[in-house]
Structure 1
Amino acid sequence: MTDPRIDEIGPRLRAARTDAGLTLEALAERAGISPSTLSRLESGKRQANLELLLPLARELRLGLDELVPPAVPDPRVRRKAHTRDGVTMVPLAPEGSPVQTVRITFEPGPPPPSLRTHDGYEWLYVISGRLRLQLAEHDLVLGPGEAAEFDTRTPHALSCYGETSCELVAIFNAAGERIHTRAAPRSRVPRSATTEEGGSHDDRSGPQED
């Protein structure tokens, strides 16, 4: 398989020569190669090598990286899924990204014992099942195709609503990622809980459904 970067060397070489105001013959003479060789390099009819590129780059006052395009990194994200306390998270962004995109699956079970807060914003989109979103005094249920965006400094919690697992895609910053992976064991979930801000949340009325 031919490296596609090789096909870009000729046009880059021709453009650099033109920008320098040099004719094909003038550059070839300075670099110590024949005009026909340079012509074939620029047209892609001859494969470039260091023996040819080094003197050309020197005469054009360019670095080799300006004639040879950098390799395009593999865009695929290979990160392992991890499951904890009925929540499976599959990272969809490279490790270290300032903004994380994650596919999350919530298994049926009680809601988290407390609402959490952290800096940033979160956007989510429900793929399947029903998601319970507790956001301050709001207690909502979102179905497939519904989305939500909120300031994560507002006390909030996410959980599955109903007897079928819920799958969604969420986008949040690194702080948001840490919050969601610290979910408490569902077996210890009470029906009401205290928020991090010292307030309380009571879900006896049940969530709102559209």
Structure 2
Amino acid sequence: MTFAPDIVAAALDRVAPRLRALREQRGMSLSELAALTGVSKSTLSRLETGQRRPTLELLLPLSQVHRVPLDELVGAPPAGDPRIRLRPRLVNGRVVVPLTRHSAERHAWKIVIPARASTPEPKTHEGYEWLYVLSGRLRLVLGDQDLTLEAGEVAEFDTAEPHWFGSAGAEPVEVLSLFGAHGERAHLDGSADAGR
């Protein structure tokens, strides 16, 4: 299969608005992005206005900073394989598997927390989080509360409240986390349980 030059040109033309939208969604200035990527502010500006053609050397650091796959930046056509390749990462000793693309308004992760004694260090940030315990026991420190959640239990909270969570037992805990950056609460439809 070969691509006609006009298809390639059209795909490259769509990169500029994508780059600008990603930066604005994250509330980042060109200067901040330049500092994180090592790409000059003027080059970033020209990329976002379409005055500079994107190259792999420019797109790779932008892809990493925005945590967006390169094919999403350039609008690559689907490859035909419907399987999603999840890429687990190790974050502060926890295995984190992103279940949504980072450009989404709401984020979903599967988090595996090893069984080890940890001293809670509650933190705050903007947003709203919903946690579902898949397996194991989860210790959740939320404000003045110190809770233990079992498999199948759910917690929902405003992340402006000091919070921390980790393993509460002798085995790892697996958690599904849904996070909305602007305080969106999870709306669960209880209609499936209505007939039980």
The two structures have a TM-score, normalised by structure 1, of 0.46
Structure showing greater radius of gyration is: 1
The two structures have a TM-score, normalised by structure 2, of 0.49
